[in-house]
Amino acid sequence: MIYLNYSNLDHETQQRMISISKEDVEHKFGNDLRAYAKENHIDYDILLHTEAMRNLYSYQYVFNI
């Protein structure tokens, strides 16, 4: 569960969330993503960013108002 302050959803907070998600995805699927990117001639960083954005939907959020 991720706790966020509802009044502080600025760009910096959004980038922090994407960074956390990238670390999570890389930890879970890093080797598979590298192999897929190499096999299909895709930039690994773009693939990681795309998967990190998808991963954000799997989190449970709690907003403090």
CA distance 56 to 40: 24
Sorting pLDDT into bands at 50, 70 and 90, what band is 21?
very high
Task: Answer for the pair 44, 37: CB distance below 8 angstroms, yes or no.
Answer: yes
Contact 47, 22 (CB under 8 A): no
What pLDDT band is residue 24 in, cutting at 50, 70 and 90? very high
The larger pLDDT score, comparing residue 9 to residue 52, is at: 52
The pLDDT value recorded for residue 5 is 60
Q: What does the domain layout of the chain look like in residue ranges?
A: 2-64
Cα-Cα-Cα-Cα dihedral sign, residues 27, 31, 32, 38? positive
Q: How far apart are CA 8 and CA 26, in angstroms?
A: 27
What is the average pLDDT across 2-20?
77
Closest Cα to residue 24, out of 55, 64, 50? 55
